[in-house]
Structure formats: C-alpha cells, structure tokens
Structure 1
C-alpha cells in the first residue's frame, strides 16, 4: 500500500524552471527533498520569453511551466486545496494574496530585498514596497536567507523570520582537480549585470594583474567598454560553473545593491577559491575568512592580491558553514512545524 502523503504543497513563483538564478537553484533541491520526504509537491512557474508551456521531466514532483503562473496557481489552490503554499521572489505577493483569499497556509522565502526597500540600480523599477511588505507581514512563515536578511526584515516590517541559508549542493559546483600545466589563473566576476558590479569590475580590471572573466549575461550597452578591455573575456551564461571554477584563482563579488547572501562566495570557497567581496549587505557574514572585503572600487586590486594569499583550506572550511544537508533538514523541520499549527480559520469564498 502506498504511503499517504505528509501533506499537499504548492510552490508558485515567476521563476523556477529553468533553474538559472540563485533563488531557483536553491528552491529546486528543497522541493526535491520535500517530495522525497513524502510530501505531495506541485510547482508552477512562468515561461521565459519565447518558450512553450510544458511539464518538467525527471523531477520527483510535478512541475509545470505556464504562460500565466499566477492564474494557474489560483486554479491549483481551488482544485487541490494545498496544505501549504510556498513562494519566493518576483510574483510572490500575488501568490500570497491568492492564498490569503482562500485561507491557505503560506510560507514566503525572501531571497532579496529588491521588493521591500529601495536598492541601487533598481531606481527606475515600479515596485509597490507597501503592498509587498503588507503581504510579507501576513505570511504564516517567513524564511530569510541569512542572519543579515533576518535583521533587515525585522527593521522593515517587524516580523521575526526563520533563517535557512541557500541550498548549495556541493557536488554541483566542485570542480575536478586542475593539472599543474593548467593552473587557476583568472579573476572572475560571476555576473555581467550592472547591479552585480560589472562597471566597477571593468574599471578595475586593468589593475588586477591577471586575465579576467565575466560570466552570465552582460548589461546592455557594455559591449564597447568590454571590447576595449583586452584583459577581460565575457564567456556568457554557464549552466555548469565547474569548468569556470577550475580555472579561477579569485572570484570577485561586487554587488552594488544589498546582497542578502552571495551564494557564489560559497560556490567558490567549496573549491578552495578565495573571494574579494564588496562589503555590502550580507557579504561580510557569508565571506567569513574565505577571502577579503573591500569598501570602495579602488581597493579591489589590493583586495584581490590579499585574497590570493588565503589558503584553500580556510576557504573550504568557510564553505562548510553552509553545508547543504543541514539547511535542507532545517527547512524540512520548519515545514513540518508549520503544518502542525492550527489550520487558518475563515470563510472560504
């Protein structure tokens, strides 16, 4: 006889599959763990431009990618009456409001502060901070991705969040050993977007004394500047970062907005790679002894030189603070605790 499900869980957000951003890369292994723990898990997220609606194969839960994820999530809430609705990131307020209207339990994973407080490089975005904070305060459980984030959410809304660090499955980022004939040599920036500090990096790259790489999308309008910098290569999006880490001597994190965790710090440290990080948001918390902080752009070259002297073992020890297994167990415990709370009361419309 099949084991009855522990409970019905619905994850709904704009982004999940394909898992590209840090929030999606963290949520997918958590949903897998919930399914393997006996929960009946369904996910729904939005299509990327040019895509076609589809279901996702090879997962231990049912996942669909649709044109209107919020409308689909509302239908699933009506049809299945999930025991818990989980959401995060862009679109989370809309999902929460749908769940509130149906008196469903809710769990919000807060993955950044872009929707809750003004941030550098997002000044032109139309964001309803008040609506987002209002929904956040009504969620049954809020999960922050760092102690820094927990403190900031307390300051912004008065709520007390739980902390679960992003789930970074080490085997997905641990590069193979590099032959001595092909040593790690590059200074690498993991994203070419403005809010991730690409302009700072391009400005300082000639002073770094090593060849440089920029991964991920490149901010529009930076092509000419990149072409003029003969020490920098743009390698674009890499679905597998292990080959990049295999040849990276030092990773640079230069986020201009409030970085609320900085998962690439841990990815690099897993490989024994030190990090030079701009001292913004949670970078100090995540970096620990796994690299060097800098506070203004002109300090980056010195920070890189100093970081290159940090032993690999210290970097790897820092990464172990964020080991994936304990974070998964913590998240599973929070879900179980929430499901054992009294069911929300109210009149179903």
Structure 2
C-alpha cells in the first residue's frame, strides 16, 4: 500500500510539504485510542532489548535527528516501533532555517539532499515537550540533538551550546552535540580538535549526569575521525554518533545536472552507506568497548542494521529510508532482526 501512496502522491509533492502532512498522522499513532492498537502491532520482540548509555532500549534501531525537529512526534514514533527517538537539531534561539526549497528527493538513489539549516522552534519549547513525553510510563528513549544558533558567531558557539544544554539536558535521556551539519556556516569548523575540546568540556559540565555524545561528519579524513574519537573518550563523553550527512555527490544514479540544480546541502540515504560503515569501524577501533557508538547513514534494511551491529555499533539510527519505506519501516526491521536473534 505505501509504495503506491508514495508513487501516486508523495513523490509528486514538495518533500517538505509532504513531511508536514504526515506529522499529524504520526502524532495520532501515539495518542489515545490509536496508540495501544498500533503499539500491539509494532512492539519489538523482547529479545531485541538493548542496553547502552546506562539505558534500556526496546530495540537497537531508532530515529535519527532531523525527522522530529521539535519533539512533536515522539509518542507516535515509539508506537511505530522505534527503540529511541533523537529529536532536533534544536538551537538555543528559535530560527526559520534556510530559504525554501531546501529538501530534495533523489528517488533513483533512495536518498535526500537537504539544506534545512536547523529550522526549529527553539530549545525551550523542545524541552517542554520532552518533559511531557518523559513523564509517560511507556515511551521510547529520548535523545536531544543540539546545534549552534545561526545568529550567533562561531566565536560565541560554546555559550550558545551551553544555553541549549541547560534547557534540554534535564529532560533528555541523552544529549548529542551536532558540529557536523553542512548547512550552518562555520559549524563544521568546530570539529577541529583544538576548538572542539573546550566546547565539549563546557557542554559536558552543563549536561551534568545526562550522557553526552558528539555527532561527526563522514567527510573528515580518517586521522581526524580517530583524533575526535580519542578526544571524546579523553573528555569523558559517553559516545559518538557516526555519521551526519555528506557533502559528497558521487556516485549517484540521478543525473548530474539534476543533482547540480538541487544545489548545496547534505546528502543522506543509501549512497552514504559504505562511508558510514567505514567511519563506524574507524571509530570503534580506537575507543573502549564500553564507549557507545551510534551508527547512522544509509540504513534501510534489517541487513544494514545487522551489519552496523556486527561492525561495533551499540545502536543504529535511520531517517531517509522512512520516506521510501513508510510507517511500518521500524516494524519490518525489528521483526527481521528478531528472527535472527
């Protein structure tokens, strides 16, 4: 049914508009009286329960940041079978993001290009919603991904991240520092170790007991990835999310002139799979066994999830394939995983 709906309706629609149309549907899945019914059909097998970051996850498979920027769909995504939901990216100051159009489908590649620019309602509103969700007895593990406000100079980034941290860390199960989006000017420069250390130390102190991770880009050379991984261990972080979207464009099935016309932005989806696995292995090789590594990028099938777990990931995240697979995506993955446990 969903492939028909996608080809007939969603594929003909502006991707961002399509996303906004499905938000109330997903929210409804998490609300009474639908939630118990949906959850009964999608609940992960108990064999999939996973321990990481000092938390218990219903499944190792969750939703990456970017899908639920403002923490409005957490209950619905949990009802659909996701073991965790990472909301955001949120910023200390609410912002509109980049001008539209800013989201593009590459259907032949099962990929997306986005230059959203951290459009969100701000950390204060996200924290209020997370607080309400966290009070529910049955819920997904809730992570919060934080980024730099666009109006804040890079030199003032640390204070901006700390402001977001103080709002969302008390109501999030874990926190992720995003310094790797290609869509905020100057942001990726914060991945330089000499710049990243004081930022992570300040956010770590502000986060207090909330587990803290950092999200890295796939476009870094391996030696820099290793340096960031060692830094994360050295400053006492709980883990790394690997990876964000890529600025690379090859190889793609979509014609080059079509891709060029889409413009700048981060590429996600199936073309990122190979590099995401390579980065995962690079990180895992230099961090201790107890250090949490969350793998994201190019995840679409249960085999993809198994590959990441076998390569050393503690948890796995997806986003882009939701657009192509539909609302039963997590259920399909969880059922296939349970058959091999």
Same fold, TM-score > 0.5, yes or no: no
Decide which structure has the larger Cα Rg and report it.
1
Which of the two has greater helix per residue? 2
